Chains A and B, each alone.
Chain A
Amino acid sequence: MSIDFHTLPDAHGRFGAYGGVYVAETLMAPLAELTAAYERLRTDPAFIAEYEHDLKHYVGRPSPIYHAERLSRKVGGAQILLKREDLNHTGAHKINNTIGQALVAKHMGKRRIIAETGAGQHGVASATVCARLGIPCVVYMGAVDVERQAINVYRMKLLGAEVVPVQSGSKTLKDALNEALRDWVTNVEDTFYMIGTVAGPHPYPQMVRDFNAVVGREARAQMLEQYGRLPHALVACVGGGSNAIGLFHAFLNDADVAIYGAEAAGDGIETGRHAASLAAGRPGVLHGNRTYVICDDNGQIIETHSVSAGLDYPGVGPEHAYLKDSGRARYLGVTDAEALAAFHELARTEGILAALESSHAVAQGIKLARELPRDQLVLVNLSGRGDKDVHTIARREGLDLT
């Protein structure tokens, strides 16, 4: 019997055994308020029209599907197609979600927005929509990430946001999330928490997915229009998993479309220095939901490692946990070195600087295409552009651009 993947999550926010609402009591009320507001808005034609208008005229959607012909020829296997989310305003898929959540916040009458960010893409996307709404925006960012994503930090400041470096724990994305939750619990009355990925307590995994699902809806229609068929396989990078679920969702019930998530294997899964929650983690509870987490035998979350700040997260969206267990999607590790090689390959063959996050998907796409015949199509989500990463890449290659 086939599963209808479009019926999830259930009313409790569960995707099978995963998801749910695992937060302290104080946050139950604001989450219930948000769930009620979102349930009302998501089927409201006026709200949908407003959201779609913004996506078209402000974000610049639809984003094209581009046939990476030179890259495909060089790889010598299936044709590699790129869903160009890097061409969106602010340079990544993250804006799809913040446009949507900003509208929800506006309808709820919230006067202050907080967000967490890893690579800074979600922070920039949050600061952007807040500037447009004229609402104050506070972005929590791990101190380590502030250091390695200096350009995005400055972009957020230019957009009028306050960036708060988080000094606790491993000083990365997970700690930024903790700190944002602490802010929210302290300012529940007037503050809207804009989570940047498909994690966190219900309704976030559902809401963030719904706002990113435009990627897959568009892609599915574009494939049928441009190629007259669906792709053989989809590939997207998975940290928290928002761009991936955004691409995957419209295709989940298309059983013939294979689905691959590329997780950050860092120095290699066997070294322990990675961020591959699904490939190498275990079910647990983190940041308000049950999902796969990277932790030790005492249940303590372990510091993750990836060259890409946006994938450096020890959990993953609960829907991905469900897709893994159900066998609908496969999640594979891509190392730092493989991602960097793919970054250069794409730059030289196609003139596209991909984000380091997205370079993981490109690497996985290349591996997959190599194994497949030339007449097959592999659709890779190019979730963001790499301008923010040039300093990181230069540094790894021994150059100092400052």
Chain B
Amino acid sequence: MVILVLVVITAVAFDFTNGFHDTANAVATSIATGALKPRVAVLMSAVLNLVGAFVSIKVAATIAKGIVDPKALESNAGLSLVFAALIGAIIWNLITWYFTLPSSSSHALIGGIIGATLVASGAHAVMFHGIAKSVIAPAILSPIICFLVAGIGTYVVYRLMRLITGAEAVRGYRYGQIGSAALVSLAHGTNDAQKTMGVITLALIAHGSISASHFYVPLWVKLACACAIAAGTAIGGWRIINTMGNRITEVESPQGFAAEAASAAVILSSSYYGYPLSTTHVVSGGVMGAGAGRKLESVHWNVAGQMVTAWVFTIPAAGVVAAATWEIARVFGANSTAGTIVMAVLAAAAAAGLFTLAQRSKVGATDLDRTHVSPEREAQLGTAPAVA
């Protein structure tokens, strides 16, 4: 029972990190263009993530499906495995947050599950073909598709905007960005909060509290996950928002709108056709595409390269941390409560250490606020479409 409680607490903590790590996906470009005040943007996103978490539980039902053998997740061993996976995902989320790199929380969780399963049950319990099909292929294709869609949208929009003044375009697209950011936030809530719901439900099945043949997500699990991701989002992952909104390329309102519209379209159409994907990868591809659609050299490819490197390492790195967690906990006895408690304390200490280190290069909401720049001023500065 103690291990189950620790797994639930750790899952909620992961959901919280998922929230502040992924806030940037929905609101970074709206903040960067001055469409929304930073705090207003993250609060709006938090509320919509909360709402999105209740829209559907179909994602929750598919977590780990096709990735590892379901038998590996049964009984007490399954509980310890899920715990190790969550620790791997949390630590990698915090490391990438410290280095201000947008990376996929979903991939971190999948990497954690794979790493823990490899050491707990062996390679035969890992479904490599399923991983290639449902994780790797979408991870490669989705940012490319979003890059192209956002790039084409931006290119055409900038040709159209020659027919009106730059200030009109900036003002109009700033309004549009509020809607597009809201849609991405809602889509994020429907995907990511439910992954944690799925993890907790798996733990409850492993513990025997829920029958595997009658899968359902208890209301308290839905509430806990929805509140955790909303709280994490409301905190505002300013470090990653800064990277996504300002460091990949200088985003203007029409570009921000095109990037968000493309991201929402790719996320929702892929989900509709049964391809779960990382919102981080999609939105990053969209921002790069929007930059390239205006001017290819306006994209800071070195920053993009750092991000892609982090994406490549996400699954292996989270897997290594999860595997180490599993092995260290085993020193105290197989599936022991003591080992789980020790690892929970060590992980909390590591998280506190990273948070303390991050305070040395703190980025806050006021640093990112651009709402004081009027559309007319933005047009004059040349960071808006050509004036007619």
B is bound to A: no
User: Which residues of A approach B to under 8 Å, CB–CB?
Assistant: none
User: Which residues of B approach A to under 8 Å, CB–CB?
Assistant: none
